[in-house]
């Protein structure tokens, strides 16, 4: 390919990016203009992809962790033949457009993961790399190298400033994930100005070498041959993840905006865009022009992937003959289905026994793991406390890629991001565990999983002030309502061991977003399913666990460890002539999916006296308790003391529930607190 055509291809992307951002009058033109040579090498020289079949299993993955530079990705997706048109480019950042302001998974073919919050894509790639290594270890056989793809990413100064990249880079280095090839755009510019303001003393190359990465440093992004050679060298390095640090110039080609902060987060301006075009050999008065030879070249490059996929499909067809059971297993799991009969492995727990729901969760995991080979996960250094270790399996490590237990270290933030990276790989259901209070460290990946409607399972134990002596810093109060406020996230807080088993069933069968399973540290009695309703009612989010003996005067609603308290309170109220119905409500989100007829059977409109009991913030419960109801919740932080004492001190006792229920049933007036009718019990 002549040097002139290469330069024209690169400059076309620069001008197209400037045009799109200018038309939107919003966006980031600088980095696409700077990194167009890198994009050229990736899409024309390096990556394995097929625009006509964008999700074929052995494609290379590309992540734009610097999501603000999305016009770079949109440009190359269009040029190489993905399902994106020039009109889509012209609608950049407009309502209902495929070309959103940051790349969005599921909105446009070729986008492997939603990025934007800096550092997330970097860490997602570590999860993708883990998934590839696990697939290769399980399914690759001599002569059948089915899974050997690479994980490419472009990251920015901002990505490397975010702490989550330090966590994820450490994980990747420790695991020797040699299938990672990241390109660091060292352009020296952030929104506030030169990186010397905040990022001047750190030697990024040495930092990543210390993490165990293979590092190369290039002085000029416009040296296409050097970029290609560096990526080739990185591909040959299989024992270490690779970082290629490349010096670039933001808004390259712009006479007045190159190397300035003004090119970072705003359009260049119509006059400057004309100067860019003139400078790069384009007509200043024409916009969105794609030279025919440029489009022809890239479309031909895009078609090469069809041959690669055809070869892979033929290899897999032969594999199916040689290893039919493994092939059948892989195809089934990739379809989103689960093996027949796996539910029969769910354990049943004996009434009267006492068991923390975290312990019950561990027993469920170990009972079903054998039937679900792509159910993999671990914890943030808390496996003994969260009961997430799979006892019959090894740990995933640099020397054992078959391991199903993951040691994320004390890195909750990157754990969540890595789970998302695994979850975008078909077939996998990853899980990760920590204490509920530390879900705070994971908010960005939880939110992004919900945006992408991925299926990681977040396990949160030590779910209330009932955890006891660790005290205020470890006792969650506001976390439940905070998680419930996230769209597409399903939160389940089971009442006992059998509800825990059903919570896992629902989580594994769930689609359309992540699930957060909330478990206790303290032991809870196993509810008698012969005396009370079956725990399978959990699948509907709320169910009548114990109906009243006669028409109910009041409905008692509870979740988790508080369900047993309201069951006991129900019996005491009956002896005092107050008829109460008990509703277990482990999941608001599942309940809201039910039709109005079912909801009426659980919370009849005619019964206005309702008392909700939950060891957390009372916010949100008014929807279910109505104006005539009450909530026993917590409106301050916890205390360091044995769990039972703290629970009682905060009003979570049978006696207090009975007292509050009687007050409701007998019509005593209640005090308002904001929009909620509550009396703090602390």
Q: pLDDT digits over 46-89, tens only?
A: 999 999 999 999 999 999 999 999 999 999 999 999 999 999 99
Q: How many domains does the chain have?
A: 3
User: Within a domain: residue 258?
Assistant: yes
Please, which pLDDT band fits residue 120 given cuts at 50, 70 and 90?
Answer: very high
User: Within a domain: residue 255?
Assistant: yes
Domain at 559, CATH number: 3.40.50.920
The share of the chain scoring above pLDDT 70, in percent, equals 98
Examine the fold and report which residue of 287, 306, 325 is the final residue of a domain before the chain moves on: 306
Q: Which residue has the tokens 């440093």?
A: 217
Helix axes 3-24, 70-80, angle to 10 degrees: 120
Q: Write out pLDDT tens, residues 204-217.
A: 999 999 999 999 99
For residues 508 and 553, membership in a common domain is answered with: no
For residues 510 and 553, membership in a common domain is answered with: no
- The residues, any chain, with a CB within 8 Å of residue 562's CB and separated by 6 or more, are 613, 614, 615, 652
The pLDDT assigned to 201 comes to 86
Q: Write out pLDDT tens, residues 375-403.
A: 999 999 999 999 999 999 999 999 999 99
Query: Which residue range is the domain that position 370 belongs to?
Result: 342-525
Q: Write out pLDDT tens, residues 588-597.
A: 999 999 999 9
Judge whether 645 counts as a catalytic residue.
no
- Would the CA dihedral through 77, 79, 80, 84 be positive or negative? positive
The pLDDT assigned to 200 comes to 86
The pLDDT assigned to 671 comes to 40
The pLDDT assigned to 628 comes to 86
Examine the fold and report which residue of 282, 306, 330 is the final residue of a domain before the chain moves on: 306
Q: Write out pLDDT tens, residues 533-565.
A: 999 999 999 999 999 989 999 999 999 999 999
> For residue 672, is pLDDT > 90?
no
The pLDDT assigned to 676 comes to 41
How far, in Å, are 91, 463, 665 from residue 611 at the CA level?
Answer: 51, 21, 10
> For residue 674, is pLDDT > 60?
no
Single pTM value for the model: 0.96
User: Within a domain: residue 321?
Assistant: no
For residues 506 and 620, membership in a common domain is answered with: no
For residues 470 and 577, membership in a common domain is answered with: no
**Could you count the other beta carbons within 10 Å of the beta carbon of residue 496?**
28
User: Within a domain: residue 660?
Assistant: yes
For residues 567 and 608, membership in a common domain is answered with: yes
Among 368, 324, 331, which residue's Cα sits nearest to residue 347?
A: 368
For residues 521 and 634, membership in a common domain is answered with: no
For residues 155 and 33, membership in a common domain is answered with: yes
Domain at 367, CATH number: 3.40.50.970
The pLDDT assigned to 668 comes to 55
For residues 159 and 209, membership in a common domain is answered with: yes
> For residue 307, is pLDDT > 80?
yes
Task: Give me the catalytic one of 104, 167, 272, 412.
Answer: 412
Q: What six digits make up the tokens of 210?
A: 């210390």
Q: What is the mean pLDDT of the segment spanning 228-244?
A: 98
What is the three-state SS of 226-281?
Answer: HHHHHHHHHHHCCCCCEEEEEECCCCCCCCCCCCCHHHCCCCCCHHHHHHHHHHCC
For residues 483 and 547, membership in a common domain is answered with: no
For residues 352 and 431, membership in a common domain is answered with: yes
User: Within a domain: residue 570?
Assistant: yes
The share of the chain scoring above pLDDT 90, in percent, equals 95
For residues 287 and 152, membership in a common domain is answered with: yes
**If you average pLDDT over every residue of the chain, what do you get?**
96
Sheet holding 610-613, edge to edge: 543-546, 580-584, 554-558, 610-613, 630-632
> For residue 156, is pLDDT > 60?
yes
> For residue 3, is pLDDT > 70?
yes
For residues 230 and 378, membership in a common domain is answered with: no
The pLDDT assigned to 2 comes to 64
User: Within a domain: residue 533?
Assistant: no
Q: Write out pLDDT tens, residues 416-431.
A: 999 999 999 999 999 9
Q: What is the mean pLDDT of the segment spanning 163-176?
A: 98
């Amino acid at each position: 390919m002549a040097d002139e055509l290469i330069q024209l291809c690169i400059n076309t992307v620069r001008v197209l990016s400037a045009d799109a951002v200018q038309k939107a009058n919003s966006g980031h033109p600088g980095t696409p203009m700077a990194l167009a040579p890198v994009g050229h090498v990736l899409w024309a020289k390096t990556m394995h992809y097929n625009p006509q079949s964008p999700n074929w299993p052995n494609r290379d993955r590309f992540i734009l962790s610097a999501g603000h530079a999305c016009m770079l990705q949109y440009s190359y997706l269009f040029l190489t033949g993905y399902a994106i048109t020039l009109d889509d480019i012209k609608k950049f950042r407009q309502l209902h457009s495929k070309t959103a302001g940051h790349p969005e998974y599921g909105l446009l073919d070729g986008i492997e993961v939603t990025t934007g919050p800096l550092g997330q894509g970097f860490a997602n790639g570590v999860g993708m790399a883990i998934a590839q290594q696990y697939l290769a270890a399980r399914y690759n056989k001599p002569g059948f190298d089915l899974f050997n793809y690479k994980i490419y990413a472009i990251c920015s100064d901002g990505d490397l400033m975010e702490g989550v990249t330090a966590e994820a880079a450490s994980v990747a280095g420790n695991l020797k994930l040699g299938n990672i090839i990241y390109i660091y755009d060292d352009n020296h510019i952030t929104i506030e100005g030169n990186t010397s303001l905040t990022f001047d003393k750190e030697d990024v190359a040495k930092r990543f070498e210390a993490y165990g990465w293979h590092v190369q440093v290039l002085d000029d992004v416009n040296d296409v041959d050097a970029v290609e050679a560096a990526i080739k060298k990185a591909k040959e390095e299989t024992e270490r993840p690779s970082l290629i640090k490349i010096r670039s110039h933001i808004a390259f080609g712009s006479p007045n905006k190159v190397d300035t902060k003004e090119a970072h987060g705003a359009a260049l301006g119509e006059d400057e865009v004309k100067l860019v075009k003139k400078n790069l050999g384009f007509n200043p008065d024409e916009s969105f022009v794609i030279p025919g030879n440029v489009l022809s070249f890239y479309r031909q490059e895009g078609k090469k992937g069809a041959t690669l996929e055809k070869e892979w499909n033929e290899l897999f067809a032969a594999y199916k003959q040689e290893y039919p059971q493994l092939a059948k297993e892989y195809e089934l799991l990739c379809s989103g289905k689960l093996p027949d009969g796996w539910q029969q492995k769910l354990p049943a727990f004996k009434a009267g026994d006492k068991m923390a729901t975290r312990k019950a969760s561990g027993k469920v995991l170990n009972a079903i793991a054998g039937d679900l080979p792509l159910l993999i996960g671990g914890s943030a250094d808390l496996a003994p406390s969260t009961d997430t270790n799979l006892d019959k399996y090894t740990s995933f490590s640099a020397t054992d890629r078959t391991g199903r237990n993951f040691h994320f270290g004390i890195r909750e933030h990157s754990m969540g991001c890595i789970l998302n990276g695994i979850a975008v790989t078909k077939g996998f259901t990853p899980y990760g565990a920590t204490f509920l209070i530390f879900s705070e460290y994971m908010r960005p990946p939880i939110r992004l999983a919900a945006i992408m409607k991925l299926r990681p399972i977040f396990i949160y134990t030590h779910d209330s002030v009932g955890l006891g002596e660790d005290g205020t810093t470890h006792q969650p109060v506001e976390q439940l309502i905070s998680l419930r406020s996230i769209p597409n996230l399903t939160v389940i807080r089971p009442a006992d061991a059998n509800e825990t088993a059903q919570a896992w069933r629902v989580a594994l069968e769930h689609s359309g977003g992540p699930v957060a399973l909330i478990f206790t540290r303290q032991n809870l009695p196993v509810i008698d399913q012969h005396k009370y309703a079956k725990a399978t009612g959990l699948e509907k989010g709320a169910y009548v666990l114990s109906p009243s003996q006669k028409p109910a005067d009041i409905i008692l609603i509870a979740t988790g460890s508080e369900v047993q308290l309201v069951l006991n309170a129900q019996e005491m109220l009956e002896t005092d002539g107050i008829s109460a119905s008990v509703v277990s409500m482990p999941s608001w989100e599942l309940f809201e999916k039910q039709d109005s007829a079912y909801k009426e059977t659980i919370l009849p409109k005619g019964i206005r006296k309702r008392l909700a009991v939950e060891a957390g913030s009372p916010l949100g419960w008014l929807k279910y308790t109505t104006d005539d109801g009450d909530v026993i919740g917590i409106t301050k932080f916890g205390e360091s003391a044995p769990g039972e004492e703290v629970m009682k001190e905060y009003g979570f006792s049978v006696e207090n529930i009975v007292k509050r229920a009687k007050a409701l049933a007998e019509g005593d007036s209640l005090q308002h607190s904001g929009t909620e009718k509550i009396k703090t019990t602390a």
